[in-house]
Amino acid sequence: MKKFYFIGLAFILSAAIAIISYGAYLNESGERQIAKRMESRSIPLQGERAKFRNLRPVFVLDTINLSSDEMADAIALIDGRIENAFIKKNSNVKRGQILFELINEDIPIKIKQAESSIAKAQAQLLQAKNSFERYSRLKDKNATSLEKYDEAKLNFEAAEANLIEAQAVKEQLLVQDSRQEVISPIDGEILILYKQIGAYVTAGTPIALVGNFERLNFSLPVEDAEARRLSIGENFELNFRNSHSFKKAYDTEYGAGNLGNEQIFPVYVKEIMPDLNQPAAMRKVVFEIDNRVGILEQQAYSSVELTRMTAHNALTVPLSAMSDNRQYVFVETADNKIERRKISVGADDGKYIEVLSGLREGEIVITSATKGLEDGMKVTVTLTEVGN
């Protein structure tokens, strides 16, 4: 009985060992197959070739500060009370146009006094002249002394000087009288009225601010290499991203034909400082905006796009290929794997970005999602660019 028991037990143990061994074999075989499949797996991705294209760079600016070269105060040149105003806020004015009339009640009185002094001086001069001519005739006949002749001559010269002085005083008063008219220093628009009719002002007091916003300026710091790609007079376009609100700080008038938030403003390079013939690591580029549509004013604006109108041929890749703050791309290698590579880039046009170094023309960069990709992964890349 025991013999059969042990025989059965041995059979069961042998079967169990065989099952376990077979299971271990299957497991090892499955792992090898999985590893083999993983090793041969190819990730499907999309890509484009690095290629030379005509690039019109777009610069996205957080803020620009616009200023005008034509802003000036209309100033009172004498003391006086504002009697008349010939303009209103936002009036368009020309240089030399009369804006206000001041009244200084002392000036007419002083002018009359000066005229009286002139008349008195003229009478004294006539008397001194007659006396001098009489003594001159007597001197020629040796009928008077030299002292009396010299005295008559001095009186005549003094009378002439008194008349000239009296006339100069009147002329000065007439100048002051003309300064009772406050004129516009430049062509432009009345932006601010500092004073109103009836206000008393002293000489040198600003009465109104006149500005011309048809041409506005802003400047950008630019590295020397980028500045050398620019030229004076080169054209750009300026537009505002999203639905920018054009607030009017000075309440200026809108020009005809403006398109509001859709307006594109012509811009040109006005100045590069220091000049390109002088060595400098950084330069200031001054741009001038054509604002004849009257939308912009002298103030700060945000969310701006500046597009260069002159295209330049450059090696480029899609912006979608860039990762890690535009420092790296994944490049397909000859054995259908990917390589993470650091490159140096320049300007972009919103779709493609200029490659300065790190890539060669024709190399394929990954443009589909790059998150999770690693060096050495095997890939199947589908070129998405038209014509590839």
So where are the chain's domains? 43-56+313-383, 60-70+212-310, 105-179
The pLDDT value given to residue 119: 93
Alpha carbon distance 290, 194 (integer Å): 28
Per-residue model confidence (pLDDT) at position 35:
44
Looking at residue 16, its pLDDT comes to 62
| Distance, CA of 51 to CA of 351 (rounded, Å) | 13
Q: What is the pLDDT of residue 177?
A: 78
Instruction: Please tell me what DSSP assigns to residue 377.
Output: -
**What pLDDT does 183 receive?**
94
Q: How far apart are CA 77 and CA 178, in angstroms?
A: 10
Q: Could you give phi then psi for residue 298, rounded to 5 degrees?
A: -75, 95
The phi, psi pair for 382, rounded to 5°, reads: -100, 120
CA 151 distance to own-chain centroid: 73
Tokens standing for residue 25: 């074999």
Tokens of 309: 């109108």
Give the 3-state DSSP-derived string for 33-87, with helices as H, strands as E and coil as C: HHHHHHHHCCEEEEEEECEEEEECCEEEEEEEECECCCEEEEECCCCEEEEEECC
Q: What is the pLDDT of residue 21?
A: 64
Rounded to an integer, the average pLDDT of 105-117 is 85
Closest CA to 100 of 120, 118, 71, 78: 78
C-beta separation of 216 from 253 below 8 A: no
How confident is residue 5, by pLDDT bands cut at 50, 70 and 90?
Answer: low
Contacts of 182 (CB under 8 A, 6+ apart): 74, 75, 76, 77, 98, 99, 100, 101, 102, 207, 208
388 has pLDDT over 50: no
Segment 198-205 shows an average pLDDT of 94
Q: What totals of helices (H) and strands (E) does the chain contain, helices first?
A: 4, 23
What's the CATH code, domain 105-179? 1.10.287
Helix/strand/coil for 138: helix
Count of other CB atoms within 10 angstroms of residue 292: 15
pLDDT (0 to 100) of residue 175: 77
Q: What residue type is assigned to position 77 of the chain?
A: L
Give me the DSSP letters along 179-220. Answer: TTEEE-SSSEEEEEE---TT-EE-TT-EEEEEE--SEEEEEE
Query: What does the block give as tokens for 15?
Result: 């079967």
CATH class of this structure's domain 60-70+212-310: mainly beta
Please write the tens of the pLDDT for every residue from 328-383: 999 999 899 999 999 999 889 989 999 999 999 999 999 987 788 888 899 999 99
Report the chain's mean pLDDT, rounded to a whole number.
Answer: 87
**DSSP H/E element including 162:** helix 146-178
The whole-number pLDDT of residue 305 equals: 92
* Angle at the Cα of 30 from the Cα atoms of 26 and 31, rounded to 5 degrees: 120
Angle between helix 106-140 and helix 146-178 axes, rounded to 10 deg: 160
What is the average per-residue pLDDT within 171-180?
80
> Is the distance from CB of 193 to CB of 251 less than 8 angstroms?
no
- Report domain 43-56+313-383's class: mainly beta
Q: Does the bond joining 318 to the residue before it have cis omega, within 30 degrees of 0?
A: no
Whole-angstrom Cα distance, residue 291 to residue 213? 7
Q: What is the pLDDT of residues 34-54, one digit of tens each?
A: 444 445 578 899 999 999 999
SS3 content of the chain, % helix, strand, coil (to 5): 30, 35, 35
Name the DSSP letter for residue 232.
T
Strands 282-290 and 328-332: unpaired
Residue 293 banded pLDDT, cuts 50, 70, 90: very high
The sign one gets for the Cα dihedral 154, 156, 158, 160 is negative
Averaged pLDDT for residues 181-206: 95
Of 120 and 107, the structure prediction assigns the larger pLDDT to 120
Sheet hosting strand 312-318, strand order edge to edge: 51-55, 312-318, 352-357, 344-348
What integer pLDDT is reported at residue 7 of this predicted model? Answer: 64
User: Does pTM surpass 0.85?
Assistant: no
